[in-house]
């Protein structure tokens, strides 16, 4: 019994001592590991010391939005290499002018700024450039054979017009509204065309529109009159015009009622050639007072007014310059006094002398 009492406590004491020794051993091991780690870290820090921070200076980015301020003059650092400033010299073509020099200024941030500054001392002498003076071209005489005459029908030449005449010119007695004051062109089945209806009508001469009305009036229907000053027409064309020599009797035989009391503001000191295009298919493509060129399309062939079939009626007259007819007509109760007055002045007054248009269309060039 006494032996068991002694052995029991001794056994427990041995177990506790063994556990304590193991715990102490573990503590010592962990301590050694920590100490070894600290020593190793100290060696690394001693071998690779941290580099001191490097200050890097760079110019600020250019954030300008198009507004450039004039740089203030600053001394250039001695270490900078001087740069040759490009110079742009502007030479006058006719008179001498100061040159403008673009100077490249080095800023302290080592960035160059180009500023254009005028200078009173140009780097190079500005000499006026010798420019040849253009001499005016000699104006050809009106007696030349310059072609200024176009066919009134698009696609049909002046030499072909005689083959499509449907009614010739017939001069009336002086002061009478009879005869046939112009020439008519018409055809059926010509080439790819079924008829002359709708064929574009062109201006025979360059000039100014003296009449173009948006309403059809008898007898011309839709019509256009173009004025061409005689001074702009070649002499060989003017010489081909044969005007009537008969005088108007005091009591001409006609059926016209000619209102009076209207002022006609015409130029008596100069004359023009007037060309009338009648029986157009639609209202004219040009306006009163409009300047047009030879060959410009002014309408298309039609059957308006006092017409029995599609055709183009062309009249030519010589009269005072700057005449203007807002509209004209007769033989119709819808016509106004002004329209009847204009018709009488155009047809029978003698102020506008008619001639056969084929005298000009038949000329050979």
Backbone angles phi, psi at 58, to 5 degrees: -130, 150
| Pairwise CA distance, residues 222 & 199, whole Å | 15
Model confidence pLDDT, tens digit, residues 14-64: 888 888 888 888 888 888 878 777 666 555 444 444 444 444 444 444 434
Sorted by where each starts, the structural domains of the chain and their CATH numbers stand as: 85-124 (no CATH), 158-246+257-361 (2.70.70.10)
Span 304-348, pLDDT tens digits = 999 999 999 999 999 999 999 999 999 998 999 999 999 999 999
pLDDT digits (tens, 9 = 90+) for 179-202: 999 999 999 989 889 999 999 999
Helix, strand counts (H, E) of the chain: 4, 14
Q: What is the pTM of this model?
A: 0.61
Contact present, 201 and 221 (Cβ < 8 Å):
no
Identify the pLDDT of residue 36: 75
User: C-alpha angle 124/127/133, rounded to 5°?
Assistant: 155
- pLDDT tens-digit readout, 244-302: 776 776 777 677 889 988 988 888 899 999 999 999 999 999 999 999 999 999 999 99
pLDDT tens string 123-166: 343 343 333 333 333 333 333 334 568 999 999 999 999 999 99
């Amino acid at each position: 019994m006494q032996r068991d009492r002694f052995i029991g406590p001794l056994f427990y004491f041995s177990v506790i001592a063994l556990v304590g020794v193991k715990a102490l051993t573990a503590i010592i091991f962990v301590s050694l590991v920590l100490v070894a780690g600290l020593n190793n870290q100290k060696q690394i820090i001693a071998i690779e010391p941290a580099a001191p921070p490097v200050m890097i200076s760079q110019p600020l980015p250019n954030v300008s939005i198009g507004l450039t301020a004039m740089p203030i003059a600053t001394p250039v650092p001695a270490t900078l290499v001087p740069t040759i400033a490009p110079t742009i010299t502007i030479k006058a073509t006719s008179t001498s002018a100061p040159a403008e020099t673009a100077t490249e200024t080095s800023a302290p941030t080592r960035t160059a700024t180009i500023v254009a500054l005028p200078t009173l001392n140009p780097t190079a002498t500005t000499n006026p450039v010798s420019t040849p003076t253009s001499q005016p071209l000699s104006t050809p005489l009106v007696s030349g054979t310059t072609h200024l005459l176009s066919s009134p029908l698009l696609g049909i030449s002046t030499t072909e017009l005689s083959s499509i005449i449907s009614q010739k010119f017939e001069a009336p007695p002086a002061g009478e509204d009879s005869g046939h004051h112009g020439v008519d062109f018409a055809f059926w089945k010509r080439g790819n065309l079924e008829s002359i209806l709708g064929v574009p009508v062109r201006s025979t001469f360059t000039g100014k529109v003296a009449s173009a009305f948006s309403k059809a009036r008898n007898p011309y229907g839709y019509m256009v009159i173009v004025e061409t000053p005689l001074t702009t027409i070649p002499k060989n064309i003017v010489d081909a015009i044969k005007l009537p020599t008969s005088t108007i009797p005091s009591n001409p035989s006609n059926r016209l009622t000619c209102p009076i009391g209207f002022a006609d503001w015409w130029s008596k000191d100069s004359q023009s050639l007037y060309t009338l295009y009648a029986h157009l298919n639609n209202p004219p493509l040009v306006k009163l007072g409009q300047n047009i060129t030879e060959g410009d399309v002014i309408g298309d062939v039609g059957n308006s007014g006092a017409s029995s079939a599609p055709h183009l009626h062309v009249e030519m007259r010589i009269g005072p310059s700057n005449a203007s007819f807002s509209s004209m007509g007769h033989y119709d109760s819808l016509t106004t006094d002004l329209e009847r007055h204009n018709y009488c002045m155009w047809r029978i007054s003698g102020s506008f002398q008619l001639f056969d248009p084929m005298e000009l269309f038949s000329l050979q060039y």
